[in-house]
Amino acid sequence: MSPSDRTWFSHAPVLESVRLLVAKTRLKTLSLGGLWKHGDFLRLWLSETVGAFGRQITGLALPTVAILLLGAGPFEMGILGSLQMLAFPILGLAVGVWVDRWRRRPIMIVANLGRMVALGSIPVAFVFGVLDLYQLYLVAAVVGVFTVFFDVAYQSYLPALIDRADLVEGNAKLETSQSAAQVGGPAIAGFLIQIMGGAKAIALDAAAFLISAVFLSSIKKDEPKPPSSSSSNAPSFLQELKEGAQVVFKNPTLTRIAGCTATSNLGASMAFTVFLIFAYDQLLLSPEVIGIIFGLSSVALLLGAILASRVAKVLGLGWALAMSTLLSGVSVLGLPLALFGQPIIILIIFQMIGNFGLPIYNINQVSLRQAITPDRLQGRMNATMRTIVWGTIPLGSFIGGILGAQIGVVWTIVVGGAMTAMAVVWIIVGPVISLKRSPEPV
């Protein structure tokens, strides 16, 4: 997973700052930075770039197989979406303790290999004619478990690999790869699904996880061994878990970030649980066209990733987070307008709005969290945050499935969009909005 926590899926001084941003940005936003010479970071970056492109295939292929091949409706899609993320609220806090007790790179390698095996079972089952929804449910749950371990270890590993002063640059480069994958990946995925079928296309994602694991294995820097938890004076598992939770809940900045991201993810997951049903059944779009829409609109992700640090400098960190949160809400609320004509253009425009804000939010809030948290607590802090912010996704998927069956997919998207926009309240009410820049690294 990327450093991302939030999924995609007013004020005069702020407007003036936006004007200044456009005037001042130019070529210096493309500064290469010192990490181009950091060999081990480049290996991590290559690993995530390969994995990001592979995940684009499954991201479109898995729900497409469920809808078009196995006849899944809104309720079934709600279950599938919930199972993909259910491991976060169940295992997240415990995984944070384990990640702080173990070396993080081996966890990432094993998690990638586990996801490779789970996803590889889908094309095998399809070839033998035994693929059904229950297997998709099982694979979604298993991949979710490995993803919890990978994501917590991944966000905790970066501060140990590079200097704290380079965190924004590192996260920006990683997010740029995610953005690039989302530009080219969906169109490639749609094309592959069209010619290979969704089930067989997932085999390519399984191969990508294998390649990603190989790149991770090639990193040369020795990772410090965490303090032993077996000594008599070492804290217990529950004490460590509690300490990790307190890092978030006793810090008003981290608490507001968690609340904002969790609320946004709740609304977005409600909407996007039924989005493909909306696109396939009501807009009558094909997987190939949907892939092209996702790819074209994702150009805005690259722009947002390039400008993330500049936006925070010009608007101030707090206002940058507020602005990007509002853009996500607007992007979801506008999707039903595709029913009134020119659906491809409408979907591209509103997804571009959300895609521009997404990396601005993710890069800045993740870098902020990493900078203000001691290294020994990185795993537990990230696990607590992920438990909260991704824990709302299975709930949102389940609610979205129920709402889609009861009030229809269009109104479900509207309700989800309104919830996504409301997340900005967490930023405006509290200390985050007044932040001009990230505090100095601890």
Contact at 8 Å (CB) between 119 and 143? Answer: yes
Of the chain, the percentage scoring pLDDT greater than 70 comes to 88
For residue 335, which of 266, 273, 397 has the smallest C-alpha distance?
Answer: 273
Confidence of residue 356 (pLDDT cuts 50, 70, 90): very high
Distance CA 159, CA 165 (A): 9
Distance CA 147, CA 144 (A): 5
Is the pLDDT score of 16 beyond 50?
Answer: no
For range 215-222, the mean pLDDT? 88
Contact at 8 Å (CB) between 295 and 183? Answer: yes
How high is the pLDDT of residue 126?
Answer: 93
For range 181-205, the mean pLDDT? 81
Higher pLDDT, 212 or 174: 212
How high is the pLDDT of residue 33?
Answer: 63
Decide: helix, strand or coil at residue 199: helix
Distance CA 247, CA 388 (A): 13
Distance CA 281, CA 99 (A): 43
Distance of CA 63 to CAs 67, 280, 295, 380, Å? 6, 11, 17, 32
How high is the pLDDT of residue 10?
Answer: 35
Is the pLDDT score of 77 beyond 90?
Answer: no
What's the chain's average pLDDT? 83
H helices of 278-423, in order, are: 287-297, 299-315, 317-333, 343-371, 378-389, 392-407, 409-422
Higher pLDDT, 173 or 392: 392
Place of tokens 């309240």: 425
Confidence of residue 377 (pLDDT cuts 50, 70, 90): confident
pLDDT single digits (tens) 148-166: 898 878 877 887 788 777 7
Of the chain, the percentage scoring pLDDT greater than 90 comes to 34
Confidence of residue 110 (pLDDT cuts 50, 70, 90): very high
Confidence of residue 232 (pLDDT cuts 50, 70, 90): low
How high is the pLDDT of residue 324?
Answer: 94
Most confident of 196-210, 231-245, 360-374, 404-418: 404-418
Confidence of residue 7 (pLDDT cuts 50, 70, 90): low
Torsion angles phi and psi, residue 437, rounded to 5: -155, 170
pLDDT single digits (tens) 21-55: 333 333 344 445 677 878 788 898 889 888 888 88
Most confident of 80-89, 277-286, 343-352: 343-352
Distance of CA 219 to CAs 106, 114, 212, 440, Å? 11, 20, 12, 28
Catalogue all structural domains in the chain, each as residue range(s) with its CATH number. Answer: 12-222+237-434 (1.20.1250.20)
Gyration radius (Cα) of the chain, Å? 21
- DSSP annotation of 4 reads -
Contact at 8 Å (CB) between 354 and 299? Answer: no
Compute, in degrees rounded to 10, the torsion defined by CA atoms 352, 358, 364, 366: -150
SS (H, E, C) 32-83: CCHHHHCHHHHHHHHHHHHHHHHHHHHHHHHHHHHHHHCCCCHHHHHHHHHH
Q: What share of the chain is helix, strand, coil (3-state, %, to 5)?
A: 80, 0, 20
Confidence of residue 231 (pLDDT cuts 50, 70, 90): low
For range 336-348, the mean pLDDT? 94
Is the pLDDT score of 336 beyond 70?
Answer: yes
Distance CA 59, CA 85 (A): 13
Confidence of residue 393 (pLDDT cuts 50, 70, 90): confident
Is the pLDDT score of 342 beyond 90?
Answer: yes
How far is CA 332 from its chain centroid? 16
How high is the pLDDT of residue 4?
Answer: 54
Confidence of residue 442 (pLDDT cuts 50, 70, 90): very low
Non-local CB neighbours of 34 within 8 Å, separated by 6+ positions: 166, 169
Is the pLDDT score of 255 beyond 70?
Answer: yes
Angle between helices 167-196 and 39-64 (to 10 degrees): 40
Place of tokens 């640090």: 309
For residue 148, which of 376, 370, 386 has the smallest C-alpha distance?
Answer: 386
How high is the pLDDT of residue 234?
Answer: 59
Confidence of residue 97 (pLDDT cuts 50, 70, 90): confident
Stretch (H or E) spanning 179 = helix 167-196
Is the pLDDT score of 168 beyond 70?
Answer: yes
Higher pLDDT, 439 or 66: 66
Amino acid at 35: L
Non-local CB neighbours of 350 within 8 Å, separated by 6+ positions: 330, 331, 332, 334, 335, 337
Is the pLDDT score of 441 beyond 60?
Answer: no
